[in-house]
């Protein structure tokens, strides 16, 4: 089994447990990460603010459980979960705030991440990840990989999507890779505006990292509401 497959399998296994962690607890871990980063220079302080923003939006959009109509008396709930494992890519144009924004948006929504950042990017990935682990992020929820592995990871059928920080050319390239790969459709989430962070600053960005599920509980007597069921009998 290739290293890419091993990393992805570890990431997917960790994501199951991470997704089951209540969002409030995930937010607490990420906010501790932000607190540690904010103690450094201006760039890291900007990254800390980005983490806090992504956490705030997730609490607004991802945390609520919505009650849906139950035509026969059942309880129906609509809720959000992570999509799986995301590949976070930074090309040589990427910077710390952009990478941290993508990582935090993916993690707070309940995904695990595999991170590949070009060595010429304005981002020290290992220095960023150390305080995240110290804040309590479980093992393998974040995995660091070489940037040379990014293309082979992107085409793995079980990968949920790619979150890219960098140039438009890189976006086009990885979009083509995702379009041509086997397996399910994968998200491409990107940030090319490294001055205003126009995509990362969108309030609803976190919704790109989730999928919706419904939970139905039968709370009626055996047979349900016979009157409502009778409406469709055709008699």
Please state, in angstroms and rounded to a whole number, the distance separating the CA atoms of residues 20 and 9: 18
Cα dist from 118 to 3, 51, 125, whole Å: 18, 22, 10
C-alpha distance across the termini of the chain, in Å: 60
**Residue (of 92, 84, 90, 119) closest to 102 by Cα position:** 90
Report the pLDDT value the prediction gives residue 170, as an integer from 0 to 100: 98
As a whole number, mean pLDDT of residues 158-178 equals 97
Q: What is the pTM of this model?
A: 0.90
The lowest-confidence range among 75-79, 89-93, 118-122, 140-144 is 75-79
**Pure H helices in the chain:** 3-20, 23-37, 42-61, 96-108, 125-134, 150-154, 168-180, 226-230
Please state, in angstroms and rounded to a whole number, the distance separating the CA atoms of residues 56 and 60: 6
Task: Indicate the pLDDT class of residue 64, thresholds 50, 70 and 90.
Answer: very high
Report the pLDDT value the prediction gives residue 184, as an integer from 0 to 100: 82
- Gyration radius of the chain over CA positions: 20
And the tokens for 28? 């607490």
Report the pLDDT value the prediction gives residue 232, as an integer from 0 to 100: 45
Task: Indicate the pLDDT class of residue 209, thresholds 50, 70 and 90.
Answer: very high
CATH architecture observed for domain 3-216: 3-Layer(aba) Sandwich (3.40)
Query: Between β-strands 112-117 and 210-217, what pairing exists: parallel, antiparallel or unpaired?
Result: unpaired
The lowest-confidence range among 38-42, 53-57, 153-157, 223-227 is 223-227
Contact between 136 and 108 (Cβ < 8 Å): no
Please calculate the CA angle 184-104-111 and round it to the nearest 5 degrees.
35
Task: Indicate the pLDDT class of residue 68, thresholds 50, 70 and 90.
Answer: confident
And the tokens for 156? 């793995």
As a whole number, mean pLDDT of residues 78-97 equals 96
Other C-beta atoms within 10 Å of 172: how many? 12
Domain boundary assignment for the chain: 3-216
* pLDDT at 145 exceeding the cut of 70: yes
- Tell me the β-bridge partners of 68: 76
Contact between 54 and 206 (Cβ < 8 Å): yes
* Beta-carbon contacts of residue 127 (< 8 Å; ≥ 6 apart): none
| Mean pLDDT, rounded, of the chain | 91
In degrees rounded to 5, what are phi and psi of residue 195? -110, -50
pLDDT digits (tens, 9 = 90+) for 102-123: 999 999 999 999 999 999 999 9
* pLDDT at 126 exceeding the cut of 80: yes
As a whole number, mean pLDDT of residues 155-164 equals 96
């Amino acid at each position: 089994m290739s290293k890419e497959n091993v990393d992805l399998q570890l990431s997917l296994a960790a994501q199951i447990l991470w997704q089951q962690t209540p969002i409030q607890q995930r937010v607490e871990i990420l906010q501790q990460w932000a607190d540690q980063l904010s103690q450094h220079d201006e760039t890291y302080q900007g990254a800390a603010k980005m983490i806090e923003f992504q956490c705030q939006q997730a609490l607004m959009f991802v945390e609520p459980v919505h009650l849906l109509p139950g035509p026969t008396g059942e309880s129906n709930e609509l809720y959000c979960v992570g999509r799986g494992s995301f590949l976070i890519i930074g090309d040589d144009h990427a910077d710390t705030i952009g990478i941290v924004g993508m990582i935090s948006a993916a993690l707070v929504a309940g995904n695990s991440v595999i991170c590949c950042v070009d060595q010429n990017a304005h981002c020290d990935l290992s220095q960023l990840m150390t305080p995240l682990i110290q804040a309590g992020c479980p093992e393998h929820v974040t995995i660091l990989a070489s940037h040379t592995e990014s293309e082979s990871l992107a085409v793995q059928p079980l990968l949920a999507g790619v979150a890219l920080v960098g140039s438009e050319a890189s976006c086009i390239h990885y979009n083509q890779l995702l379009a041509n790969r086997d397996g399910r459709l994968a998200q491409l989430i990107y940030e090319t505006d490294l001055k205003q962070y126009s995509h990362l600053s969108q309030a609803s960005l976190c919704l790109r990292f989730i999928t919706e599920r419904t939970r139905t509980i039968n709370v009626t007597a055996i047979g349900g509401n016979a009157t409502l069921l009778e409406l469709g009998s055709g008699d």
